[in-house]
Chains A and B, each alone.
Chain A
Amino acid sequence: MTAAIRFEAYTWRYTGTQEPALKNVNLDIEQGTVVGIIGPNGSGKTTLAYSMNGLVPNQYRGARKGSVYVMEKEVMDFSQAQLCQQVGLVFSDPEAQFTAMTVEDEVVFGMENIGLTLDEIRARLDWVVPLTEIEPLMDKPPYEVSGGQKQRVALASVLAMRPPVIVLDEPTSMLDPLGRKRVFEVLGRLKREYQSTIVVIEHSLEYLVPLADVMVLLYHGEVLLVDEALPFFERMDDLLAHDVFPPGVLEFFYRLKVAGHYPVPSPLPLTVPSGAMQLRALMEVAR
């Protein structure tokens, strides 16, 4: 499998800061995978996201070492307009990215910028609007809809450009549980139906963990751990030591395992339903 995005010995330090925001990052993001990036505040997650679509270094001042490749081409060799067709970025504050007066104009904005034909714009609207479930909102001002709807509008406006890679920078940080669930439902559909390459930076792991193929732990600008989701969360002590708090169901079964009440070869359940099944099985064995 080829890497959709590859970081090679990548270091970035913002002008006016002593410490690099990212230090010697080596990371491959394979095509068609969902990658979850976690880490405490200030660990460089947003800088990593911005480095993937060229906002760093194009929009920020700083010193750069190493390389970032998108589809095997160095980021610096793309124009910003070309790059946004390769890597779509959804920001944590959806409202900050709205530029139009109606949801429809907002979704269309990026497609107009890259010069799609009107027929192609209509075709993509027909695809992305039902996918993100924003039909009833199309005529409304984007800043007047609910938080979850705003984030789905922001996601739709990026998806409409059909970038092979979608990066979401804490997309649910401002949402209620239902809003979070619905955003991840859209991501789930993108994974299942379109095999999209999705990078999600997220603090709230409840919905991310079942979706992610690969998890990355970023800490103080360094990539400390990269692994598939299950083995990644098996290293619970490492995670807790680096201020990452896994979903409650994982931590619960991890503690059972440490206490010797959970069979060692069995994988830890990642979701509440699979946890409930495991618990039922354990109780039946005990009976």
Chain B
Amino acid sequence: MAVMHKTILGYVPDVSPIYRIHPFVRLFFLLVVSLFPMLISAPEWNLAIILVVILLLSYSKVRFATLKLYIPVSISMGVLIFSSYTILGGRHPEFRTVFTVLGFPFYYERIIAAVEVYARVLPMIFVMVLFLSTSRERDMLVAMRWARVPFVITYLTAMALRAVGMVIEDFSVVRQAEKARGFDPTGKSLAYKLRQFVMYIVPLFALALRRSDEFANAIVARGYSFTGLQNVSRPDYVLTKYRFRRMDGVLVAAISLVLVLILAARLGFGYLTLETSAVLRLLERWLGGGAT
């Protein structure tokens, strides 16, 4: 059985080919490919990005079972977007009504806008899931340091990532302590639960203060200062554990090239727009036919 490596969102086997790719490339992919949907209006192209990401998840040997968690997130996001564009979108006599539910008109233009926005948001979620499923916190820091981001910033990022884990742990301890003393909010109203939340906040705040004190002592005791030591250049041992290969360079160039192509297609030739979208034409045939 393959040894699993823990990533930010789950586990990836150590035989995964994703480990041959430098962390910077993964971060670059996240940052650049997340931009693609902002430049693309045609839903089919954004769905194509999702397909590519799914193929990459499969190539990286990410367990799809762990991704089930994001199905409700994606559905909720869709419901929110669809509701805000339709039911909560107000009345617009200038738009074409497709159908009416309980007196709420569903306009053709608003449905198209909701589909467009949702098709933009979904690939962003998928790209983020790919990054978080295949990267560890350390990879993120290595990527930033490799890109010559100042150490102070990467270190603050590391501390922030570390702090999230600590707060979650502390919260769990405080909650167990409250439960052990008979506090059980099960079945109580949301308002009651929110009021009682203060019980968690106070000890969490005290713990956070104590931890920050200990943390400051720990880093000072090991010679850390934000300004660094005088006349001492700080080596970066961690970076030596990773090699940026020719293939990584090719991947960065390929991702950049795709970005340039998308920009050119959109801004130069007017492709990837709603007007040129095959999905839009289908929707128009399906919904637009009944629109008044």
A residues near B, CB below 8 A?
A: 50, 53, 55, 58-59, 80-81, 84-85, 88-89, 91, 93, 96-102, 104-105, 108-118, 121-122, 139, 141, 143-144, 157-158, 161
**B219 on the A face (CB < 8 A):** yes
**B100 on the A face (CB < 8 A):** no
Q: Is B215 touching A101 in the complex (CB atoms < 8 A)?
A: no
Q: Is B158 touching A101 in the complex (CB atoms < 8 A)?
A: yes
* In the complex, residue of chain B having the shortest beta-carbon distance to the beta carbon of A95: B166
A sample of 18 inter-chain contacts (CB < 8 A) reads: A53-B221, A55-B220, A81-B229, A84-B222, A88-B221, A91-B217, A96-B218, A97-B218, A97-B221, A99-B158, A99-B159, A99-B218, A101-B141, A109-B224, A111-B237, A113-B223, A117-B235, A143-B162
Binding site of B, secondary structure by majority: helix, strand, loop or mixed? helix
Known A96-B215, A99-B158, A101-B137; judge A118-B221 contact (CB<8 A).
no
Q: Is B138 touching A118 in the complex (CB atoms < 8 A)?
A: no
**B186 on the A face (CB < 8 A):** no
Q: Is A101 touching B214 in the complex (CB atoms < 8 A)?
A: no
Which residue, of B137, B162, B217, has the highest number of chain A Cβ atoms within 10 A? B217
Q: Is A109 touching B214 in the complex (CB atoms < 8 A)?
A: no
A144 to B137 alpha-carbon distance, docked (Å):
14
A99 to B141 alpha-carbon distance, docked (Å):
13
Q: Which residues of B contact A91 (CB under 8 A)?
A: 214, 217-218, 221
As a 0/1 sequence over residues 203 to 241 of chain B, the CB contacts with chain A under 8 angstroms (1 = contact) are 000000001001111111111110001001111111011
Q: Is B218 touching A81 in the complex (CB atoms < 8 A)?
A: no
Known A89-B221, A96-B218; judge A113-B138 contact (CB<8 A).
no
B10 shortest CB reach to chain A, Å: 14
**B165 on the A face (CB < 8 A):** yes
A64 to B101 alpha-carbon distance, docked (Å):
77
Known A101-B136, A101-B161, A105-B138; judge A115-B234 contact (CB<8 A).
yes
Known A96-B218, A141-B6; judge A115-B225 contact (CB<8 A).
no
Which residue, of B158, B216, B233, has the highest number of chain A Cβ atoms within 10 A? B158
A109 to B220 alpha-carbon distance, docked (Å):
11
Known A101-B162, A141-B6; judge A108-B222 contact (CB<8 A).
no
B residues near A, CB below 8 A?
A: 5-6, 136-138, 141, 155, 158-159, 161-162, 165, 211, 214-225, 229, 232-238, 240-241
Q: Is A112 touching B236 in the complex (CB atoms < 8 A)?
A: yes
The 10 closest A-B pairs by CB, nearest first: A115-B232, A97-B218, A96-B214, A110-B222, A113-B223, A101-B138, A101-B137, A84-B223, A108-B237, A89-B221
**New A-B contacts (16) at CB < 8 Å, excluding given A80-B225, A110-B223:** A80-B220, A89-B221, A91-B218, A91-B221, A97-B214, A98-B218, A99-B215, A101-B136, A101-B158, A102-B138, A110-B222, A111-B237, A112-B235, A112-B236, A112-B237, A115-B233
B116 shortest CB reach to chain A, Å: 39
* In the complex, residue of chain A having the shortest beta-carbon distance to the beta carbon of B241: A104
Q: Which residues of B contact A105 (CB under 8 A)?
A: 138, 238
A110 to B229 alpha-carbon distance, docked (Å):
12
Q: Which residues of B contact A99 (CB under 8 A)?
A: 155, 158-159, 162, 215, 218-219, 224
B203 shortest CB reach to chain A, Å: 16
A12 to B238 alpha-carbon distance, docked (Å):
40
B24 shortest CB reach to chain A, Å: 16
A194 shortest CB reach to chain B, Å: 20
* In the complex, residue of chain A having the shortest beta-carbon distance to the beta carbon of B240: A118
Q: Which residues of B contact A157 (CB under 8 A)?
A: 222
Q: Which residues of B contact A104 (CB under 8 A)?
A: 238, 241
* In the complex, residue of chain A having the shortest beta-carbon distance to the beta carbon of B210: A96
Q: Which residues of B contact A115 (CB under 8 A)?
A: 229, 232-235
B166 shortest CB reach to chain A, Å: 8
Q: Which residues of A contact B214 (CB under 8 A)?
A: 91, 93, 96-97
A88 to B222 alpha-carbon distance, docked (Å):
8
Known A115-B232, A116-B235; judge A58-B162 contact (CB<8 A).
no
Known A101-B158, A105-B138, A121-B237; judge A114-B229 contact (CB<8 A).
yes
A53 to B217 alpha-carbon distance, docked (Å):
11
B205 shortest CB reach to chain A, Å: 17
Q: Which residues of A contact B235 (CB under 8 A)?
A: 112, 115-118, 121
A110 to B159 alpha-carbon distance, docked (Å):
15
A89 to B214 alpha-carbon distance, docked (Å):
12
Q: Which residues of A contact B232 (CB under 8 A)?
A: 114-115
